[in-house]
Amino acid sequence: MQRKAETSTMRRLIFVAVMLGAVCFAAVIVRLFKLQVLDFGFYQKEAVTQQTKDKTLYPVRGAIYDRNMKALAISTGTEMVTLEAVKIEDDKQGQLIAETLSEILALDYDTVLAKVNKRSTYEVIKRGVDKETADKIRAFIKENKINSIYLVGDSSRSYPYGNFLSHVLGFVGTDQQGLYGLEKQYDDVLSGTPGRVITATNARGEEMPFQYEMYYEAEDGRSLVLTIDEVLQHYLEKNLEIALNDNKVQNKVTGIVMDVNTGGILAMATLPDFDLNDPFTITDAKEAARLASITDPDERREERSIILNAQWRNKAISDAYYPGSTFKIVTMSVGLEEGKVSLNSHFYCGGSKKIEGWSKPINCWKRGGHGDQNLAMAIKNSCNPAFMEIGQSIGWRTFEEYYEAFGLKDKTGIDLPGESTGVFFSTRSIVDLAVLSFGQNFSVTPLQLITAVSAVANGGTLLKPYLVQSVLDAEGNTVASCGRTEVRQVISADTSALMADLLEGVVTTGTGKNAYTAGYRVAGKTGTSEKKDKEALTGDDSLRISSFVAFAPADDPQIAVLIILDEPTVQPVTGGLTVAPVIRRFMEEAMPYLNVEPQYTEAELQQKDETVPSVKGMGRAEAETALKNAGLSSRTSGSGDTVTDQIPAAGAVVARNSTVILYMGESVPDKLITMPNVRGMSLNQAKSALQDRGLYVRITGVTNTKEGNLAVTKQSIEAETQVAFGTVVTLEISDMDQRAE
């Protein structure tokens, strides 16, 4: 019995053992199935990671050029710091590496330490490291005999002109990715394609021989050639800065220059701007101080983001505004195209116009009224009642159709991020139609307006604005190009030509007189609009936007220019006085640069500045003849036979018929003159005040008429400045009657 029991127990043990073995075997089978089938991809990846080293080869970002191939954004040679953390000897060395790299490279210590502790075969610590910094790391490597830190060739983005074209070019982040402007819009074109080096490694993480390496070359980014002209951009930015400071503008200034025949943007700027090489520094001192006063870190971080985004915002394409009387260009174009008005039309202005459904009359800027006017006079005077009458004759339906046809309800489609559009009327009342006709209570962006005005200038075709005219490969070959894109024909060529004549009259004898540019035919329109939206929030009804839009030459338009001053504070804040002179200064530089030949009238020739020739060493008669031929008179000082000195010096530019002093055997008096303040004086008063002190005058501004209230509004040398005897002072003359437009 006992033997049977033992046998039975043995059988049970054997059975249990067999069953356990079967279970274990099944578990092994299941485990193998999971490892080799279900988790194959994961373990294959892990094995490859342990047995290979994968390095990224970064491409060189493409450059950005202006239309004449001047480099505006370039990638320069730098170095990249990488870490092969598997080679770090111990934690002590790892901590030393993290501390030193974070200090030299100005990085967060914990971030670097995390990369050290990963013990991976390849980590990028920092890109775009300059040579001086890289040399410090080399010294650290050599001193501490470290074999896990590498420096390899890299590139970083730089902008040779700093603040230049900042709101258009934009900038890149630390990894060379486009964050703003054209850098963001064309990031996929500029950035190129990264390459890779995949190297086999042994069990110790060491690289295997060359034959175990796969190399995929990086493809450098392509370059952009813009429609921007660096010279015109410089002229625009310089004159905007003068306007910003002279008028103490509170809410930025902006300007656009467009090629009216292609839609290409020749210049675009918003000021104040920022340094593209340091875009994250807040440039507004008041905003920086306010930010510094915020103690809560989260609140400060949020406010910093708001301030920076406002700093980077491109006002020319992102901020809609009431266009004011510049919109009268559209109103009159529609009226002419539809046959509602003609050159024979007449309008009466008594200072206001009563509109049905509105309790109070709507005023003209000239409260006394303009009386009876024909069409040309109505636009020269920028008369609101006349334009309300034109708007009523057009009617809502037709007017809105043209508004859409001019592209004012849609984004233009320019190749820049951040473009917005304006707000049109939500109702269609007769009062809305009245204020629409003179540019109030609806909004457009500056880009929308200049695109519409360019259509009026170029024969009536609305064009799509653009900034990139071609894309180049790494060898400089053109691989893509862009040019004139027609959207639609809006008005006829006849209406366009008539509008050019009418708008030229605005500049020669109308509210735009201060934009008059001697020798060049400039057409344009003033604008002064209220800020009703901000008035509703602040209660301040004094805030204005002053603007001027122009194109030239009026008989063969090439460029259109729009300049806007948002909340100027130096009175009077009108387009005719505040912005028109800015347009003139720009045109005086732009027209010669664009090879537009000046055509002077007889009256302009009499006012034309002359360059003083050198007559030193000549006899009296010869010198007097040379000066007379140059349009200058002369008088002598001394009794010698030969000119030993002259005032003004050779090369000085002075008003025609100025008197040059010839020193016969004498030298120019060595004395200083205190510059007087001649602002507000008439031209004759200012000339007398300066000439009495032995100073010379050069005149710019309104020189085509003796009518109006002409006065000196700027002088090139500030009052109380000490200057040499015979110094030339440039006086800017404005017609002070242009107070409301």
| Lookup result for tokens 């025949």 | 261
Q: Is 551 exposed, middle or buried (0-12, 13-18, 19+ CB in 10 A)?
A: buried
**What averages of pLDDT result for each successive group of 10 residues across the chain (741 residues)?**
57 59 57 55 46 67 96 88 86 88 90 87 84 90 87 85 96 90 96 73 48 66 96 98 95 97 98 96 94 93 95 96 96 97 94 85 87 95 95 96 97 96 92 94 96 98 98 92 96 98 95 92 94 77 92 97 96 91 96 93 80 93 93 90 91 86 88 91 88 87 74 91 90 77 62
Is the Cβ–Cβ distance between 445 and 316 less than 8 Å? yes
CATH architecture of 606-735: 2-Layer Sandwich (3.30)
DSSP bridge pairs for 486: 463
| Lookup result for tokens 């790299």 | 101
Q: Which fold has domain 56-225?
A: Penicillin-binding protein 2a (Domain 2) (3.90.1310)
Active site residues: 325
CA angle 622, 627, 628 (to 5 degrees): 95
Per DSSP, the three-state class of 646 is strand
Per DSSP, the three-state class of 31 is helix
Beta strands in 84-194 (DSSP E): 123-129, 149-158
Q: What is the pLDDT of residue 741?
A: 62
Q: What is the pLDDT of residue 291?
A: 94
Please tell me the distance from the alpha carbon of residue 203 to that of residue 195, in angstroms, as a whole number: 26
Q: What is the pLDDT of residue 49?
A: 44
Q: Which CATH number fits domain 318-599: 3.40.710.10, 3.30.70.100, 1.10.10.10, 3.30.390.50?
A: 3.40.710.10
Please tell me the distance from the alpha carbon of residue 568 to that of residue 557, in angstroms, as a whole number: 30
Q: What is the pLDDT of residue 39?
A: 55
Domain boundaries, the chain: 2-38, 56-225, 318-599, 606-735
Per DSSP, the three-state class of 388 is helix
Please tell me the distance from the alpha carbon of residue 516 to that of residue 407, in angstroms, as a whole number: 29
